[in-house]
């Protein structure tokens, strides 16, 4: 599975969650955190998708995805530990933790595996 297959939906989920938090609670930190991290991930996924289309790997995109997911795991994990609120801190920390493991796996195995070139 290629990193961009999960990264773009993950980024959209974060943007949507930030917007949802702002609409329902008026939380500007939620809006900024969700939109900024989500857009960074969407851009990284797009870079990776374009590189894959050119039959290359984008280690910059994979590194950016890993850093974003790790930061979200840490920040939201800390928030969950302080508040014990599953939503949104626990859910975002859990999803981000899984994404961090996926990105580390992709880094360890050499990025996206490119299909053999058809003649």
Q: How far apart (Å, rounded) are the C-alpha atoms in residues 63 and 81?
A: 27
Q: Is residue 119 part of a domain?
A: no
pLDDT, tens digit, for every residue of 38-63? 999 999 999 999 999 998 999 999 99
Q: How far apart (Å, rounded) are the C-alpha atoms in residues 116 and 98?
A: 29
Q: Is residue 36 part of a domain?
A: yes
Which three-class secondary structure state does DSSP give residue 81?
Answer: helix
Q: Is residue 115 part of a domain?
A: no
Q: How far apart (Å, rounded) are the C-alpha atoms in residues 25 and 114?
A: 44
State which residues form the domain around 60: 3-108
Q: Is residue 49 part of a domain?
A: yes
Q: Is residue 53 part of a domain?
A: yes
Q: How far apart (Å, rounded) are the C-alpha atoms in residues 17 and 6?
A: 16
pLDDT, tens digit, for every residue of 67-91? 999 999 999 999 999 999 998 899 9
Q: How many helices (H) and strands (E) does the chain have?
A: 4, 0
Q: How many domains are contained in the chain?
A: 1
Q: Is residue 113 part of a domain?
A: no
Q: Is residue 118 part of a domain?
A: no
């Amino acid at each position: 599975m290629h990193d961009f297959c999960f990264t773009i939906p993950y980024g959209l989920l974060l943007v949507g969650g930030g917007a949802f938090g702002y609409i329902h609670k008026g939380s500007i930190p939620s809006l900024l955190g969700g939109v900024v991290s989500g857009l960074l991930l969407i851009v990284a996924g797009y870079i990776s998708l374009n590189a894959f289309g050119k039959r290359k790997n984008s280690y910059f995109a994979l590194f950016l995805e890993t850093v974003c997911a790790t930061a979200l795991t840490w920040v939201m994990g800390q928030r969950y530990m302080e508040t014990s609120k599953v939503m949104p801190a626990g859910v975002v920390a859990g999803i981000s933790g899984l994404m961090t493991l996926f990105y580390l796996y992709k880094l360890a195995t050499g990025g996206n595996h490119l299909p053999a070139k058809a003649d």
